[in-house]
Amino acid sequence: MSKTRVLFVDDETEVRRSAAEWLTLSGFSVETAADVAEAKTRLTGGAADIVVTDIRMPGEDGLALLHHVTQSHAGIPVILLTGHGDVSMAVSAMRDGAYDFLEKPYDADHLVAVLRNAGEKSRLSRELARLRAQLAGASGLDRRMVGESAVMQRMKDRLMQLAGLDIDVLIRGETGTGKEIAARLLHDLGPRADKPFVAINCAAIPETIFESELFGHAKGAFTGADSAREGRLVYASGGTVFLDEIESMPLALQTRLLRVIQEREVEVLGRNAPLPLDVRFVAATKSDLKALGEKGEFRSDLYYRLAASEIDLPPLRERGNDVIALFGHFAAEEAARSGLSPRPVPEAVLSALLAHDWPGNVRELKSLAARFALGLTDGVPGRADTREDDAPGLAETMARIESGIIRRALKEAGGNQAEAARRLQIPRRTLGEKIARLGIREDGEG
């Protein structure tokens, strides 16, 4: 097996020399460069599987080199070496594609461990062309994540970009937007697809057994430990760990998880030596983790590690006509599962679907579509057990649509009618008349 090729970039001669010696002794093939221009020349010649670069150098800096690599040599991991004052800059750089960063003075053994993980990532990334071809077809993404709105296309493009890159990802979205589906797609359409996908709902595991569930323990590690338990992190070896509702993880365990993510090894209770860990972490949250960190309710350093790459899932209310496509898709699925013929969806119902705010997002829509397919509802949000001939007429439907649009504008304007009128492009007096006629409260409720 050929050695992993490392390009080490630093403007200090002695730093380059000592790093080259140590990495060569550790089994890597090493080339060095004194500046970004020399590094670009060596990269053009195909000299590297991994780039290690200092951030601060005369002329073009390490961030400029990172940008060049991500644009012209996609798939080559970039590891940044940073001074203490540049940590926030390095965290931002990870969002722009850096694989990892080490704070100087760095531990040489730790650099070797990071390089070995990055070398495997580089090998996997060479399959990116094949993965993109797979993603581009309807064989996975479009069939499992229905929707053609502009906001969904942007999200799918982001998902496509990240699926073939073996990096940790944070998924953000309201309840019911499909965070686990997105996580599963990142796994199934990525280089770890043939390995385990382990989903852990951090809100559903009692705190008293959380540590044992995640990290496991050896036989005899404590009273009652009659047998060894393999934690879920170790069980997922080679695959993906999905941490749903990560904001619910106890703070003490967040500290342990942070160490696992940084070191890629697990300390198992009752074992003297840690176990190496080769997994991809995908976390999901409905909360603002950064804000929680500022209040001391979530570890900020864990947030920055998890948020190396992020995906934002749009709420259903922002997806336009995707609502109609999704309703038809879910209704047809339920009808087929139950051996029934699909029911036609009346125009009035379609209009009502578009006017609804969908606080429960796709999960709420899927439940309504299933009941509609079984004949248990007319398909109008908020109405159940009604006959189809009781469906609303045109006037009622239009009033519902108009009310929904006005309520949404008022909420977005914080209850300010002048601002809401400006957004709706109607006179304020006209808006006031409509609010009174439709029975809408000034805060947008009702």
Instruction: Give the percent of the chain with pLDDT over 70.
Output: 85
Identify any residues that bridge with 8 across adjacent strands, giving them in sequence order: 32, 52
Residue 146: what are its φ and ψ, rounded to 5°? -75, 135
Answer whether 243's CB lies under 8 Å from 254's CB.
no
- Map residue 45 onto helix, strand or coil: coil
- Map residue 342 onto helix, strand or coil: coil
Identify any residues that bridge with 281 across adjacent strands, giving them in sequence order: 241
What's the pLDDT tens digit per position in 224-280? 556 667 788 988 989 999 999 999 998 988 998 999 998 888 887 766 778 888 999
pTM of the full structure: 0.58
Give strand ranges (E) for 277-422. 280-285, 310-312
Answer whether 298's CB lies under 8 Å from 254's CB.
yes
- The DSSP letter of residue 78 is E
Question: Across the chain, how many H-helices and E-strands are there?
Answer: 20, 14
Residue 183 parent element (H or E)? helix 179-188
What's the pLDDT tens digit per position in 355-409? 888 999 999 999 999 999 888 887 778 765 444 444 455 566 567 667 778 887 8
Q: For residue 79, is pLDDT > 70?
A: yes
Q: For residue 2, is pLDDT > 70?
A: no
**Helical segments of 35-83, H only:** 36-44, 62-72
Give the residue, 393 or 34, on which the prediction is more confident: 34
What is the band of 410 on the pLDDT scale with cuts at 50, 70, 90?
A: confident
Q: Given phi > 0 = left and psi -120 to 50 = alpha, else beta, which region is 220?
A: left
Burial of 263 (0-12, 13-18, 19+ CB in 10 A): middle
Answer whether 392's CB lies under 8 Å from 380's CB.
yes
Q: For residue 181, is pLDDT > 90?
A: yes
Residue 53 parent element (H or E)? strand 50-54
Q: Mention every residue, 6+ apart, whose C-beta is less than 8 A from residue 139.
A: none
Looking at residue 185, its pLDDT comes to: 92
Rounded CA-CA distance 149/169 in Å is 23
- Map residue 408 onto helix, strand or coil: helix
β 169-172/310-312 pair status: parallel
What's the pLDDT tens digit per position in 277-305? 899 999 999 999 999 999 999 999 999 88
Please give the structure tokens belonging to residue 261.
């993510």
Name all domains of the chain by residue range, CATH numbers in brackets. Answer: 5-126 (3.40.50.2300), 144-312 (3.40.50.300), 317-438 (1.10.8.60)
Give the residue, 221 or 416, on which the prediction is more confident: 416
Q: For residue 116, is pLDDT > 60?
A: yes
Alpha carbon distance, N-terminus to C-terminus of the chain? 68
Residue 51: what are its φ and ψ, rounded to 5°? -115, 130
Answer whether 366's CB lies under 8 Å from 330's CB.
yes
HEC string of 415-430?
A: CCHHHHHHHHCCCHHH
Looking at residue 215, its pLDDT comes to: 83
Rounded CA-CA distance 239/152 in Å is 26
